[in-house]
Amino acid sequence: MQDSDPLTPPPGQPCGIVRSVRGAVVDVVFDGVELPQVNSALLVMWDRPTPLILEVHSHLDLTTVRAVAFQSTAGLSRGVPVRATGAPVKVPVGEAVLGRLLDVVGNTQDNGPALPADTPRRSIHANPPSLGAQTRTTEIFETGIKVIDLLTPLAQGGKAAMFGGAGVGKTVLVMELIRAMVEKYEGISVFAGVGERSREGHDLLTEMQGSGVLERTVLVYGQMNEPPGARWRAPHTALTISEYFRDQKHRNVLLLMDNVFRFVQAGAEVSSLLGRLPSRVGYQPTLASEVAHLQERIASVAGSAVTAIQAVYVPADDFTDPAVTTISSHMDCVIVLSRAQAAEGFYPAIDPLGSSSILLDPLVVGDEHYRIAEAVRQALARFRELTDIISLLGVEELGAADRLIVKRARRLQRFLTQPFMVTEAFTGTPGASVALTDTLAGCRAILDGVTDDWSESSLYMVGTLADAEAKEARAKRRAAAPEAEEAAP
């Protein structure tokens, strides 16, 4: 039996009227009838062509509820009738939504055909699986991105977050992960665009259509120009779709969210409109519980996993911000994007020393991977310590051992850069996806001194060490050609 359309309330449900409107928060009076339950949906019976759905947030008194709007309330006036639906907001799930772009209440937004009438629907509110039902795995989830696979490996069924300020490449990295992973990933992908620009959503849709991966992907958007209620609940809609494929279809799901900070920001806007006193740095007092309610639903059960990769905006590059620290506490893998790395042209601009993963353990990744990763970290850490001395006195004033470390660390920095497929149109450089074995072999060779005589530029923006070797050979041939011409009589 399929759930009914949420826009047609069943008969016999109570009817109220709008008492006040404050932006996205609406107070509704139900006089003489039982109040709708918290988190249930209300439908505003106004004369506009677009429906207006509210979600009950709290009971103010015996006759009044306070609700959050999922669409714009512009033009809504007092006295407009409101019909209770008797159920939470339910969104379409299943095979029918694959390849489609949905909004927070499940309406299609891609100018495509309407969803079939028998499409199953699920409530956007659900409890996480019990602790006994959850499973953990140490299977590595290869991304093809060298610095991530080497230093911050992802877990199948784990949660990873990319933290970075404005303009350091979070969205580009997410798009590259989608492209690199979905093509070789046997599962379903669900993308939640939370509070992002319409342009980014259009770019992502076009990119997916061009790469042929859209038919196994669901896009859910609560964009920047939408009310805070839509941005606040969009991740829950994406999670509901993910949970259906995990629990009912027993398929692995790759869940990507961009940007989780906008979810927190929308919650702060709603909290302010609800009249709550702000907490630290102006955030909502329920910050920790809201983030936990979202993140704890991202879990794996026997036979199927939800792997989450989330982009997190860091306001003013302040990594001590309460939203950033609250989100990071739920993560297995923390990837920090550095503005200093981006300024030097090292893309992806991942800070190799600030990023971490609980899977970087010899019992999980093996002794060789762990040994190489630690050696790379030590070389880069020593180079960072010596940066001030080098800028003041020059590298010639260092001891022989430190000069060797600096030489190899600079080559490691450049080898860990990588051209992306999604940026080919802008850079003209073909993108590269690198297997973990090739990444380990390249780093081992650099640490062993194989590339000491190579030009640093030969290791910059290449895939494997073989690509760098070919680039070095081409550079030597070009350098030799003018010399040969000058030597000729």
Q: What are the residue numbers of the active site?
A: 170, 196-197
Cβ proximity of 15 and 263 under 8 Å = no
**CB count in 10 Å sphere of residue 249:** 14
Residue type, 56: V
Distance CA 24, CA 253 (A): 32
Amino acid at 405: I
Token pair listed for 2: 């399929």
**Strand 90-92 and strand 121-123: pairing?**
antiparallel
- CA pair distance 444, 277, nearest whole angstrom: 55
CA atoms within 13 A on the CB side of 116: 10
User: Which residues touch 75 (CB under 8 Å, ≥6 apart)?
Assistant: 46, 48
Give the DSSP H/E element, type plus range, for residue 121.
strand 121-123
Residues in the chain: 489
**Upstream peptide bond of 348 is cis (omega within 30 degrees of 0):** yes
How far, in Å, CA of 58 to CA of 384, rounded?
52
The pair of structure tokens assigned to 469 is 């070797």
